[in-house]
């Protein structure tokens, strides 16, 4: 799983689990604010993403992750090379 | 010679003034619904003019001692966990002891929201080593006067209160070994700072949530391992009552049955070191627990620091 699209797909899957009541479209450019993902649910997303991709998101970076593409980009840039 | 240790008495103290979400919503510029949706808290308590850390501690410790049936002359140690005492010197545990008519060993301990679990471990170890026949552990906090409406994330969460447990020599090991740890690089996530003559509480809620929900499940599992029990053996999960969201997420990650999770935070708010004994006592007073039930305690918070253990309920 090395492309932004593949990582985004997993991020979208996690978001669907976190807010099953949201049935709208999710794309890499979707902002968390627009879909009602509150600050603590964003942390849930980050924690699950960290576990899935074996990355560590510093506390200071979490507020900067405001779109699905931000999360995917962080993972791509920081995950351990495999 | 070493002994076993057990909790033989519990008590809680909630200040008489109840603060509702409706009371706080206006000053904080939010709605009561916003408070409940965000924190799961409906009410918290606030000290009146005749209540403070010391008076609550003396009252709750006396109640716990009465509940235990222990002779006051056989109490050898008082440990006061508090993080909101503004006077640095002296520690107030000796005044708690004196207020109970005791002249035993007494000291304060500050591990903030993890304070009760740390103090329980200290007391249990003292009893097991023979340094104390009985020890009283107290968490007592008065924090509401340090909160400002313009910071709703703390203003609506915290409450005043106190809780206590008596730890006694036992033939059994009813207080499991402590799991504990810390991460001082996260000192910034909850802290106090002097602003003029006042002390204000600052909190980075999402960072607290991230640390606690990511790291505490492993600590909880380790506490069970150290006690030689599995999570499935544990009847009651009593984490620090930080806010309902954290309690719910920890319970979900640990797959703890919903009916076994303490959610005293809903009516008491976050009372820092007092939250675990208050929640434990509320469970016991509900009539839902039985003597010998296993409870998993895990206190965590500012520092950041945490401690936890598995105990058998009295």
Is B110 part of the annotated catalytic residue set?
Answer: no
Task: Give residue A82's pLDDT.
Answer: 46
| pLDDT at residue A78 greater than cutoff 60 | yes
Residue A43 to residue B209, Cβ atoms within 8 A: yes
Chain A CB contacts of B186 below 8 Å: 59
| Cα B289 to chain centroid, rounded | 19
Element housing B67 (H / E): helix B53-68
Question: In chain B, which residue's Cα lies nearest the Cα of A59?
Answer: B207
In angstroms, rounded to a whole number, what is the distance separating the alpha carbons of residues A26 and A14?
Answer: 11
Q: Kindly state the tokens that stand for A28.
A: 């890499």
Residues contacting residue B33 through CB under 8 Å, at least 6 positions apart: none
Q: Give the pLDDT confidence score for residue B76 in this predicted structure.
A: 98
Helices H / strands E in chain A, number of each? 3, 0
User: Could you identify the residue written with the tokens 């309920």?
Assistant: B313
Q: What pLDDT shows up at residue B182?
A: 98
- Both structure tokens of B232: 């499935």
Judge whether B240 counts as a catalytic residue.
Answer: yes
Chain-wide mean pLDDT for chain B?
Answer: 97
Considering only the beta carbons, identify the residue of B204, B214, B245 that sits closest to A47.
B214
The pLDDT tens digits of the residues spanning B231-264 come to 999 999 999 999 999 999 999 999 999 999 999 9
Position A1 scores a pLDDT of 60
Asked if A39 lies within 8 A of B205 by C-beta distance, the reply is: yes
pLDDT of residue B283: 97
B104 is catalytic: no
Contact A59 B249 (CB under 8 A): no
Q: Mutation target for A interface from B157, B207, B247: give the one with most A CBs within 10 A.
A: B207
SS3 per-residue string spanning chain B: CCCEEEEEEEEEECCCEEEEHHHHHHHHCCCHHHHHHHHCCCEEEECCCCCCHHHHHHHHHHHHHHHHCCCHHHCCEEEEECCCCCCCCCCCHHHHHHHCCCCCEEEEECCHHHHHHHHHHHHHHHHHCCCCCEEEEEEEECCHHHCCCCCHHHHCCECCEEEEEEEEEECCECECCCEEEECHHHCCCEEEEEECCEEEEEECHHHHHHHHHHHHHHHHHHHHHHHCCCHHHCCEEEECCCCHHHHHHHHHHCCCCHHHECCCHHHHCECHHHHHHHHHHHHHHCCCCCCCCEEEEEEEECCCEEEEEEEECC
Question: Which residue in B47, B104, B174, B240 is the catalytic one?
Answer: B240
Q: Is A46 at the interface with chain B, CB within 8 A? A: yes
Task: Determine whether the interchain pair B210/A39 forms a contact, defined as Cβ–Cβ distance below 8 Å.
Answer: no
Would you state the pLDDT for residue B276? 98
Using a CB-CB distance cutoff of 8 angstroms, which residues of chain B are in contact with residue A59? 186, 189, 204, 206-207, 210-211
ipTM, interface predicted TM-score of the complex: 0.80
Cβ within 8 Å, pair A42-B206: yes
Q: For chain B, which residues score pLDDT lower than 50?
A: none
Nearest residue on chain A to B245, judged by CA atoms? A40
> Quick one: closest CA in B to A38, which residue?
B38
**Which of A38, A50, A59 is the closest to B207 by Cβ?**
A59
DSSP code at position B146: G
Chain A contact for B199, CB < 8 A?
no
pTM: predicted TM-score of the whole model, two decimal places: 0.93
* Per-residue pLDDT tens over the stretch A16-36: 998 988 989 999 899 999 998
Q: Inform me whether the C-beta atom of residue B217 falls under 8 Å from chain A C-beta atoms.
A: no
Say whether residue B252 is in contact with chain A using an 8 A CB cutoff: no
Contacts of A62 in chain B (CB under 8 A): 206-207, 210
Tell me how close the Cα of B206 comes to any Cα of chain A, in angstroms: 6
């Amino acid at each position: 799983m090395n492309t932004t699209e593949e990582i985004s797909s997993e991020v979208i899957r996690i978001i669907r689990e976190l807010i099953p009541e949201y049935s709208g479209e999710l794309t890499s450019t979707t902002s968390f604010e627009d879909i009602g993902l509150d600050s603590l649910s964003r942390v849930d997303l980050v924690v699950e993403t960290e576990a899935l991709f074996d990355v560590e998101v510093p506390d200071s970076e979490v507020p900067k992750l405001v779109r699905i593409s931000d999360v995917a980009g962080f993972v791509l840039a920081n995950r351990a090379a495999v | 010679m070493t002994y076993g240790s057990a909790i033989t008495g519990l008590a809680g103290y909630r200040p008489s003034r109840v603060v509702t979400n409706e009371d706080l919503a206006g000053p904080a510029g939010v709605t009561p619904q916003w408070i409940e949706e965000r924190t799961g808290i409906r009410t918290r308590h606030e000290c009146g003019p005749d209540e403070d850390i010391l008076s609550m501690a003396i009252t709750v410790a006396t109640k716990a001692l009465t509940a235990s049936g222990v002779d006051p002359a056989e109490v050898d140690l008082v440990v006061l966990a508090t993080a909101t005492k503004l006077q640095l010197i002296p520690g107030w545990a000796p005044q708690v002891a004196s207020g109970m008519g005791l002249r035993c060993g007494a000291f304060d301990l500050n591990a903030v929201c993890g304070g009760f679990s740390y103090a329980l471990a200290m007391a249990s170890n003292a009893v097991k080593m023979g340094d104390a026949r009985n020890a009283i552990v107290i968490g007592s906090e008065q924090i509401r006067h340090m909160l400002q409406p313009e910071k709703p994330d703390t203003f609506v969460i915290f409450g005043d209160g106190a809780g206590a447990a008596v730890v006694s020599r036992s033939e059994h090991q009813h207080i499991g070994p402590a799991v504990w740890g810390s991460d001082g690089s996260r000192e910034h996530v909850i802290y106090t700072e002097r602003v003029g003559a006042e002390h204000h509480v600052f909190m980075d809620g999402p960072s607290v949530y991230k640390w606690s929900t990511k790291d505490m499940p492993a600590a909880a599992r380790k506490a069970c391992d150290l006690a030689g029990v599995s999570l499935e053996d544990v009847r009651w999960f009593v984490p620090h009552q930080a806010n309902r969201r954290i309690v719910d997420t920890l319970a979900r990650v640990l797959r703890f049955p919903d009916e076994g999770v303490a959610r005293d935070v809903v009516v008491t708010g976050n009372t820092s070191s007092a939250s675990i004994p208050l929640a434990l006592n509320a469970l016991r007073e509900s009539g839902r627990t039985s003597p010998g039930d296993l409870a998993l305690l895990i206190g965590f918070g500012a520092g950041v620091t945490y401690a936890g253990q598995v105990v058998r309920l009295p």
